[in-house]
C-alpha cells in the first residue's frame, strides 16, 4: 500500500480570508504546484486564490455526486424543468452541503482522479497544500488518499455576509446559513486530524505571531522545522481586510452559539450545535431558489440558470 502524502488542508467558509492565509503558507515553503495550474487572481482576490484548478474540479464533482438527489427533490417542488434541475446540480451543489459528503457516495471515476492528483503529491517529499472552501464538505473523501494536517480559519459572520453580498447580492439570511454550515463542517471534518485554529482578524493584525504559531504547528507534524521559520518579509496587506463593519447583522441562536465557541476557543462544543431535522440541510438552497424565483419570475428559464452560474463562479470561480 502506498504511503499517503502529508498534505496541509486549509478549511474555512467562503470569503473568510483563506487566500491571504494560503499566500502566507506559500511564502513559508508549502507547495501548491505550478503557477499555471492555479486559479487566476481577480478583483475579489487580487493577490490570487492559491487553489489548484484540478482540485476545484474534483470537489465540484464530489458535491454533485453527494447531493444531486436532494436537488432533484427541490427542483420538483419548485416546478423546474429537467434542464433547469440538471444545470442547478452542476452549478449549485455547494449550497446543500450542510454535512460532510460520505465517501461511498462518490463514483469510481472521481476516485481515480483523486488518486492521480494525490499520487503526484507523494513525489519529492514536499509539503503540499489543498485549499478550497468545499474541502469542508469533501475532506472525508480526500482523507482516504492523503494524511491531512488541518488549518481551520474562521471569520466574523457579519464580515463574511458583507463580502458575499458585495460579490453575489445573495440575501443576508442565506449568507449567514452558508457561513454557519461551512464553519461547522470545517471543525467536524478536521476533528480527527492534527489541527490548528486561527481567526482572520488575528491573521491580518498579528501576522508574524500567527506565522510563528503556524511554523511550530507544522514542525510538530514532522514537516520540517527550518523550512517554516519566521521571516519578516512575509507580510499580509492589511488593506485587503475589507467589509469590517459588523453592525446591523442579526444572527440566529445557533449562529451566535457557533461564533461564541470560536471566540472562546471552545471547539468541542461545535460538534453538538446542529441537532435539527435532516430537512434543514436543504435550507440554503431552498432559500436561494426562492430568492431567484422571486427576483426573476416563477419560471425564469435560462435567466435562472445564468444567475445561478454567476453566483457560483463569483464565489468559487470554477
What are 253-299's pLDDT values in tens digits?
A: 888 999 999 999 998 888 677 544 333 344 444 445 544 445 444 44
Are 215 and 171 in contact by the 8 Å Cβ rule? The answer is no
Q: If DSSP codes are grouped into helix, strand and coil, which group holds residue 7?
A: strand
Where is 160: in which H helix or E strand? helix 157-168
Collapsing DSSP to helix, strand or coil, 31 comes out as strand
Please report where in the chains the cell 475532506 appears, as a residue: 139
Identify the CA nearest to 105 among candidates 74, 147, 131, 144.
144
pLDDT at 313: 53
Which residues pair with residue 147 across a beta bridge? 6
Instruction: Please state the φ and ψ torsions of residue 221, each to the nearest 5 degrees.
Output: -90, 10
Q: Within 13 Å of residue 106, how many CA atoms lie on the same side as its CB?
A: 24
DSSP 3-state assignment of 222?
coil
| Nearest by Cα to 189 from 111, 112, 135 | 135
pLDDT in tens, 111-168: 999 998 888 776 655 678 888 888 888 899 999 999 999 999 999 999 999 988 887 7
Task: Please provide residue 258's backbone torsions phi and psi, each rounded to the nearest 5 degrees.
Answer: -65, -45
Cell match 460532510: residue? 100
Q: What is the DSSP string of 230-279?
A: --TT----GGG------TT-PPPHHHHHHHHHHHHT-GGGGGGS--S-GG
Residue 38 DSSP symbol: B
CATH assignment of 5-237+244-315, among 1.20.120, 1.10.10, 3.40.50, 3.10.290: 3.40.50
CA end-to-end distance (rounded Å), the chain:
33
Calculate what percentage of the chain has a pLDDT beyond 70.
58
> Could you tell me if residue 237 is left (phi over 0), alpha (psi between -120 and 50 degrees) or otherwise beta?
beta
The predicted pLDDT at position 276 comes to 44
Which residue do the cell numbers 466574523 mark?
A: 156
Query: What integer pLDDT is reported at residue 123 of this predicted model?
Result: 61
CB 108 within 8 A of CB 153: no
User: Taking the CB of residue 27, how many other CB atoms lie within 10 A of it?
Assistant: 14
318/312 Cα distance (integer angstroms) = 8
Burial degree of 265 (CB within 10 A; 0-12, 13-18, 19+): exposed
CB atoms within 10 A of CB 8: 26
Instruction: Dump pLDDT digits (tens) for 190-239.
Output: 999 999 999 999 999 999 999 999 999 999 998 854 455 444 445 555 55
Which has the higher per-residue pLDDT, 140 or 96?
A: 140
Whether residue 243 contacts residue 163, with contact meaning beta carbons closer than 8 Å, is answered with yes
Question: Percent helix, strand, coil in the chain (nearest 5)?
Answer: 60, 10, 35
Q: What is the pTM of this model?
A: 0.75
How is residue 193 annotated by DSSP?
S
Q: How far apart are CA 163 and CA 156, in angstroms?
A: 11
Amino acid at each position: 500500500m502506498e504511503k499517503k502524502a502529508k498534505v496541509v488542508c486549509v478549511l474555512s467558509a467562503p470569503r473568510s480570508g483563506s487566500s491571504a492565509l494560503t499566500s502566507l503558507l506559500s511564502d513559508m515553503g508549502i507547495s501548491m504546484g505550478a503557477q499555471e495550474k492555479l486559479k487566476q487572481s481577480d478583483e475579489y482576490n487580487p493577490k490570487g486564490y492559491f487553489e489548484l484548478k484540478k482540485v476545484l474540479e474534483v470537489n465540484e464533482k464530489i458535491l454533485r455526486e453527494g447531493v444531486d438527489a436532494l436537488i432533484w427533490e427541490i427542483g420538483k417542488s419548485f416546478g423546474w424543468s429537467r434542464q433547469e434541475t440538471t444545470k442547478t446540480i452542476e452549478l449549485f451543489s455547494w449550497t446543500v452541503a450542510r454535512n460532510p459528503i460520505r465517501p461511498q457516495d462518490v463514483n469510481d471515476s472521481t476516485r481515480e482522479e483523486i488518486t492521480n492528483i494525490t499520487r503526484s503529491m507523494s513525489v519529492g517529499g514536499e509539503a503540499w497544500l489543498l485549499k478550497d472552501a468545499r474541502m469542508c464538505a469533501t475532506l472525508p473523501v480526500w482523507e482516504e488518499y492523503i494524511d491531512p494536517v488541518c488549518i481551520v480559519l474562521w471569520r466574523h459572520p457579519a464580515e463574511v455576509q458583507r463580502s458575499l453580498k458585495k460579490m453575489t447580492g445573495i440575501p443576508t439570511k442565506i449568507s449567514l446559513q452558508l457561513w454557519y454550515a461551512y464553519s461547522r463542517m470545517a471543525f467536524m471534518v478536521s476533528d480527527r486530524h492534527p489541527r490548528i485554529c486561527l481567526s482572520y482578524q488575528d491573521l491580518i493584525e498579528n501576522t508574524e505571531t500567527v506565522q510563528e504559531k503556524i511554523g511550530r504547528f507544522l514542525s510538530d507534524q514532522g514537516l520540517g522545522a527550518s523550512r517554516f521559520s519566521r521571516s519578516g518579509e512575509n507580510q499580509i496587506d492589511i488593506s485587503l481586510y475589507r467589509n469590517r463593519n459588523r453592525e446591523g447583522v442579526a444572527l440566529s441562536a445557533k449562529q451566535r452559539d457557533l461564533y461564541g465557541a470560536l471566540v472562546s476557543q471552545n471547539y468541542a462544543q461545535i460538534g453538538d450545535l446542529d441537532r435539527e431535522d435532516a430537512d434543514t440541510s436543504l435550507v440554503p438552497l431552498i432559500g436561494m431558489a426562492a430568492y431567484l424565483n422571486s427576483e426573476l419570475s416563477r419560471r425564469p428559464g435560462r435567466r435562472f440558470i445564468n444567475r445561478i452560474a454567476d453566483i457560483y463562479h463569483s464565489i468559487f470561480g470554477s
